[in-house]
Amino acid sequence: MSPSDLLDASTYRQFSAYLTDHMPFRIPATRAEAWVDVQLFHDPSHPDLVFGTDGWWFFDDYLTLGCDAPVDASFIRHRVDALQAVTEASGRQFRFIVAPGKPAIYPEYLTDDLVERSQCSIERRTQLQAALRSDRSVISLWDPLLSEKAKIADDSPEAALYFRRDTHWTPRAASVMVRETVNSLSPGLWDDDALVQRGTDKMYANLRYAAGLPGYDDADQWVIERPGVTFEAVDEYWVDATSDQLQTPDDPTPQWRIEDGGTELVRTVDYPELDFHPVIRVRSAAHPGVEMIPGNTFILHDSFVRSSIWMFPTYFEDTTFAVRSLAYNSPWLIDGLADADTFMFEIADFGVWDEFLDSWPMLSRSVEAFWPDLERYVTPSQPDTSTGLEVLDGGGWRSTNDDPQLQLAPLAAAADDAYRLVVLDVSSNAASTAELFYAAAGETFNADQRLTQPVESGRHRIVFDLSAVADTSDGEISLRIDPAQADGVTVHAIDVLDVPR
């Protein structure tokens, strides 16, 4: 079971359903065995589950994340800055939100042995915090959550910002994310008095499921009540990999409902299943004189946003929430991003090490979505030579073997204040891989100096972030593009995109 699996409630639901269907008489015995392991022997029944002190549980992999990552913190920051540059060059606002994992905020509940095993991860996290320090586009939540932790320790010593037997944070911590986001986009709009405690919330505790003891963890429920703000509509959708249209969810039962004349957005279920309803859109309205953040705000997120779905719409007039792991694979994502006025990308700190690799798809997705607004930064390019491709009458090239190559004329140096991206407009009948080789003018190409991007079936733009690996402002650079590892792939256009930093 991977870290991402633990963030997906369906992992446990499907496993439990299978056991119920196939071994109904074994479930009580299995849970009893888990209870004995946990309660009597303090021995987790899942190999990746570890016990801290005072009833706090942790996922073992979170204690070593980043140690073997193929990228470093500075490369991750470059990726974020490039995505910001593309988004803002298109005329949209951008925010990158980092949600800390539980060990970063509650390290005092790690045993001495766990602290020792965490040293590498702590060092990598320190580097990440320095690279992703809060600024105009980055909302880093490590310091705000530590400040909130100190505050609630004085006000309510039993309260906590994270669930003890789950990897996620509580609604109080989620409100910190909303507060910091609102203050970043509209300084002074946030009202501390609008945040109020109303009853309790429960979390389908994923670490309890990993231990074989399914159940809930409870925490205080926090909501935002702004007089004069009403909820106009809430819609829930499914996305799939074959359609650019939003779909009716597999489970059409609404998980959210507007009540009390539009003044409350409430859950209809104990636990919202984000994997069943991965896209949620909430539209709000305000009385005259009540300020809202205007336009469509598109939030691409992981499961940490779950506890704030009812909070954001109290300050944002039109909010689309899209689960990143499912939206990535849907053609709809392009249209969803294109409709946005503000694009926010949220990710937990332990997820960044696996997210921002060379083949990261988000830059390609955003360039595709924002292309009509980016064309003023585009310079079309033509190859000097080609092998394994035929020139098409209407323009473009089609591969005739499984090793097509297009060599471009050396590119002049980019401006110091530009991110240089190479964009292929490609059609393919099957999935493949595209490669971009780069070298200083006059030098030979080699496998150590190349970028790769997946080629999906259909027509797409593929983006190579040349600025991530080469100093594009220091002299000419030679490029060779291997657009696919198959014949029948069409390259419609090759463009150089220089977006301002």
Q: What is the pLDDT of residues 348-399, one digit of tens each?
A: 998 999 898 877 889 999 999 999 999 999 999 999 999 999 999 989 999 9
In this structure, is the dihedral angle defined by the CA atoms of residues 361, 364, 367 and 370, taken in order, positive or negative? negative
**Cβ contact 51:42 at 8 Å:** yes
Let me know if residue 45 belongs to a domain: no
Let me know if residue 20 belongs to a domain: no
Could you say which of 305, 325, 357 is where a domain stops? Answer: 357
Number of domains in the chain: 2
* Whether residues 475 and 406 fall in one domain: yes
Let me know if residue 39 belongs to a domain: no
Mean pLDDT across the stretch 288-296? 97
pLDDT value of position 42: 56
Least confident of 42-46, 75-79, 94-98, 341-345: 42-46
* Whether residues 332 and 407 fall in one domain: no
Report d(CA 494, CA 408) in Å as an integer. 9
Predicted model pTM: 0.90
* Whether residues 168 and 293 fall in one domain: yes
Q: Any idea what the CATH number is for the domain that residue 448 is in?
A: 2.60.120.260
Range of the domain at 410: 378-500
* Whether residues 382 and 353 fall in one domain: no
Mean pLDDT across the stretch 6-32? 45
Let me know if residue 371 belongs to a domain: no
In this structure, is the dihedral angle defined by the CA atoms of residues 223, 224, 229 and 233, taken in order, positive or negative? negative
pLDDT value of position 36: 45
* Whether residues 339 and 217 fall in one domain: yes
Let me know if residue 24 belongs to a domain: no
Q: Is residue 85 very low, low, confident or very high in pLDDT (cuts 50, 70, 90)?
A: very high
* Whether residues 313 and 442 fall in one domain: no
Q: Which of 451, 437, 427 is nearest to 481 (CA)?
A: 437
* Whether residues 384 and 345 fall in one domain: no
Report d(CA 399, CA 404) in Å as an integer. 6
**Cβ contact 363:82 at 8 Å:** yes
* Whether residues 251 and 393 fall in one domain: no
Residue 329 has pLDDT above 60, yes or no: yes
pLDDT value of position 27: 43
pLDDT value of position 242: 84
In tens, the pLDDT along 264-275 reads: 998 888 777 788
Rg of the chain over Cα atoms, rounded to whole angstroms, equals 24
pLDDT value of position 79: 93
Residue 309 has pLDDT above 60, yes or no: yes
pLDDT value of position 22: 43
Residue 47 has pLDDT above 80, yes or no: no
Residue 229 has pLDDT above 50, yes or no: yes
Let me know if residue 22 belongs to a domain: no
Q: Is 200 helix (H, G, I), strand (E, B) or coil?
A: strand
* Whether residues 308 and 397 fall in one domain: no
Q: Is residue 2 very low, low, confident or very high in pLDDT (cuts 50, 70, 90)?
A: low
Least confident of 6-10, 15-19, 133-137: 15-19
- What's the Cα-to-Cα distance from 116 to each of 44, 52, 119, 125, rounded to whole Å? 19, 13, 6, 15
Let me know if residue 220 belongs to a domain: yes
pLDDT greater at residue 13 or residue 83:
83
Could you say which of 357, 388, 406 is where a domain stops? Answer: 357
Q: Tell me the average pLDDT of the chain.
A: 88
* Whether residues 277 and 151 fall in one domain: yes
Report d(CA 250, CA 276) in Å as an integer. 6
* Whether residues 258 and 323 fall in one domain: yes
DSSP conformation class of 196: E
In tens, the pLDDT along 446-476 reads: 999 999 999 988 999 999 999 888 887 788 8
Let me know if residue 157 belongs to a domain: yes
* Whether residues 260 and 386 fall in one domain: no
